[in-house]
Amino acid sequence: MEACSFSSLLLIFLSLLLSLWSAAGIRFVIDREECFSHSVPYEGDTVRVSFVVIKAENSWHYGDEGVDFVVKSPHGDQLHDARDKTSEKFEFIVQKKGLHRFCFTNNSPYHETIDFDIQVGHFTHFDQHAKDEHFSPLLEQIAKLEDALYNIQFEQHWLEAQTDRQALVNEGMSRRAIHKALFESAALIGASILQVFLLRRLFERKLGMSRV
């Protein structure tokens, strides 16, 4: 019984080591074009990618212009192509191991701040390390649970980037609304002063004509 417990604990520990994950996240400013490379060591790995255009360089500019995003395999094959996107989230299965390229192109006249995230997941075949049919389902469930946990972290990071973008958009809209209200108030005050001045001039002219 004790040997069984020790074996199960050992297999659980090994299963955690056999499930290999790598992740990379960066927030950067792009002028025209920016490319990143990420090495994927195994074929069949799952690669999850997301990006969000956080803000533009010009604080008064809050349009919906996005960026172009292209993913290429180590042999130059195009794996994904997104055009004019402010955010994107997708995943793909690696067909050829090696250095993958992720390129952004900014078509707007402003510098853009982009939040970019990559997550690579690899699972070793458990049946090569454990032959006991009683442990295989357990290892499979542990692998699925770990995959779900990493996916939650990936989703959370993407949602945080979306929240940052929306907060900046809302802040910019509030600032523009305040400036617009101040401008309209100043214009209204100026128009009132001009109206009073013109009325005084009109009364003064009529008063001068009546004295003559």
pLDDT the model gives residue 106: 93
Tokens 């509030």 correspond to 174
- C-alpha distances (whole Å) from 191 to each of 110, 180, 183, 198 are 36, 16, 12, 10
Is 132 inside any structural domain? yes
Q: Which two tokens stand for residue 160?
A: 């945080």
CA torsion, ordered 14, 16, 17, 23, to nearest 10 deg: 170
Is 126 inside any structural domain? yes
More confident residue, 129 or 78: 78
Is 28 inside any structural domain? yes
Count structural domains, the chain: 1
- Per DSSP, the residues of 10-36 read HHHHHHHHHEEEEEEEEEEEESSEEEE
Is 3 inside any structural domain? no
What average pLDDT does the segment 158-175 reach? 74
51 pLDDT higher than 80: yes
Is 164 inside any structural domain? yes
**Parent domain of 151:** 23-171
Is 6 inside any structural domain? no
Q: Which residues contact 47 (CB under 8 A, 6 or more apart)?
A: 40, 91, 92, 93, 94, 100, 118, 119, 120, 121
Are the beta carbons of 23 and 152 closer than 8 angstroms? Answer: no
The overall pTM is greater than 0.75? no
- Which of 54-68, 126-140, 188-202 shows the highest mean pLDDT? 188-202
Q: Containing H/E element for 203?
A: helix 136-211
Is 2 inside any structural domain? no
More confident residue, 196 or 169: 196
pLDDT 10s digits, 89-111: 889 999 999 999 999 999 888 88
44 pLDDT higher than 70: yes
> Of the candidates 51, 48, 50, which has an alpha carbon nearest to the alpha carbon of residue 147?
48
208 pLDDT higher than 70: no
Is 60 inside any structural domain? yes
- C-alpha distances (whole Å) from 131 to each of 126, 127, 128, 137, 175 are 8, 6, 7, 11, 65
Q: What CATH code is carried by the domain that includes residue 98?
A: 2.60.120.680
